[in-house]
Amino acid sequence: MSLSNGMETKVLKWLFKTESDEANSSLRPTAWYVALAKTDPTDSALGTEVTGGGYARQAATFTVAGNNASNTSPIEFPEATADYGTVVAVMIMPASTGGTASDMIVHAQLTSDKAISTGDIFRIPAGDLDINIS
């Protein structure tokens, strides 16, 4: 069984939009942060998040169209002051720090793994972080 296209859109709007007229808004996260992971997260476990070297989760906002939510503006992490290692995935979290797997909203592997060295800046262009329900 799967959701209809119309219901997929409603779920994404409920999760990623902050309109006051959306039902049950108190259950929805009020902020979304992109976290970088060095190991693959799963539906029941966080990936190993990058630490140190000036790393910090970055806030994101989303636009919903059909069954797709995508970041409305570029997401740029601070310049690495030390090697992060190889980033293989991203996780969307409801807070700027901490959390458990049950707090994780969504996760995805990168199209290509990215080694982050001192001086590198990890960027996600606007519209390139897509979250689909199908």
Per-residue pLDDT tens digits for 97-126: 999 888 888 889 999 999 999 999 999 999
Alpha-carbon span 42 to 27, nearest angstrom = 23
DSSP secondary structure code for residue 96 in this structure:
S
Give residue-wise pLDDT tens across range 28-55: 788 899 999 999 998 889 999 999 999 9
* pTM, two decimal places: 0.86
**Distance (Å, whole) CA 31 – CA 33:** 7
Q: SS3 for 36-81, per residue?
A: EECCCCECCECCCECCCCCCCCEEECEEEECCEEEECCCEECCCCC
